Amino acid sequence: MDPTHLMSSHESEEPRRQALISKPEPHRSTGNNADKYPQPSQTVSFETSLDNRHSSIALTPHEVLQLRKLLNNHNQELQTSVTLKTSSSFHSLGADSEYSEFPQTTHAWAVFAGNPQKRATIIDRIVGTFIMAFQMCTYFLFASEAMEDYSRGAVKVLVSHHTCQESGEEPVDNFVCEADETNHLDAAASFVMLSIFLTPEILGALRAVRNAYQNPDAGKATLTFACLAAVEVISAFLAAAIAISYQLFIGEVTDAIEAGVGLLFVRELSSRAYSGIRHKGVKQYRSFGLMLVCLLLVGYLVEACCEAYVRRVLGVSE
């Protein structure tokens, strides 16, 4: 066989498909980090050529496909990463926002429900308003009872343990009452604690009212609920001050501190409801509501059982 024919046949069987890698046009940006990180919109493209050859690159079609898949996967991962970062940044201003004026409380939902960046819904505003209304009703109960005790001038009457036992738990004499005098130093223990606790709350409420009033885009609803939140905080201070004052009037310093702590506990209901409804950045009204209803029913059931026990077993009538 002719050697020349063999050489030409060998050349005809040699693969002629080769790929040329075309570099993408560099992204033009004025930022400092623009050249370090590729933009999500940039893609690396391959163009195959059947006729052209390159002196240093000779890839088979299978190798070209593998490289194309690798670079496409890289572009997809880069776009996904940028999307996640953008979404995380958006949510940090939204559902997970700390609400600088009312940090981690349902008060923020009531005040900022009209702000789209806060991502609070109408249900959030209803919950926040309900918590504020419940708190103010509780403050009224504390303050009204303290004022009634003030008008009666009532003090606690006690009997010794020994006298109570000897009389069959029905003493008729040897009663003891306390009517000590208190001074400004005794009052400082309660009022300093109360003032330190509520000072940032009152300042935050006043700032919210000022910002809502000065911002024409805030709307009347935001200003109204900001004023409601401010009234709630100030009511907490006034109710606690009245309850503390009565305990100081009858000479009970430790009871005055307990009265202040009780009002501050009611003040914390907003933050407790906030942390209970939100779990890992997601609002879970269903689970929170079901547990709340269950606890309420159990509480009423325990009360009914205790009353039935007192009436039937101990023979105590109303």
The pLDDT assigned to 58 comes to 65
The pLDDT assigned to 8 comes to 47
**Contact present, 263 and 243 (Cβ < 8 Å):** yes
Cα 116 to the center of its chain, rounded Å: 17
The pLDDT assigned to 92 comes to 37
42: left (phi over 0), alpha (psi -120 to 50) or beta: beta
In 3D, which of 94, 11, 75, 5 has the Cα closest to residue 37?
75
The pLDDT assigned to 17 comes to 43
The pLDDT assigned to 57 comes to 58
- Residue 280: C-alpha distances to residues 80, 87, 116, 284 (Å): 22, 15, 21, 10
For the chain, what are the domain ranges?
3-92, 106-153+184-283
- Residue 150: C-alpha distances to residues 138, 157, 183, 280 (Å): 19, 16, 18, 47
Backbone φ and ψ of 238, nearest 5°: -65, -45
Distance CA 276, CA 270 (A): 10
**Contact present, 211 and 218 (Cβ < 8 Å):** yes
- The 3-state DSSP class for residue 71 equals helix
pLDDT in tens, the chain (318 residues): 444 444 444 444 444 444 444 444 444 444 444 444 444 444 444 444 444 554 455 677 777 787 788 887 777 777 666 555 544 433 333 444 445 678 788 888 888 776 655 566 788 888 889 999 999 999 999 999 888 888 887 777 887 777 777 777 777 777 777 767 778 888 888 899 999 999 998 998 999 899 888 887 777 888 888 899 999 999 999 999 999 998 888 888 888 888 889 888 998 998 899 888 887 778 888 899 999 999 999 999 999 998 888 888 766 555
The pLDDT assigned to 48 comes to 46
pTM score, whole prediction = 0.61
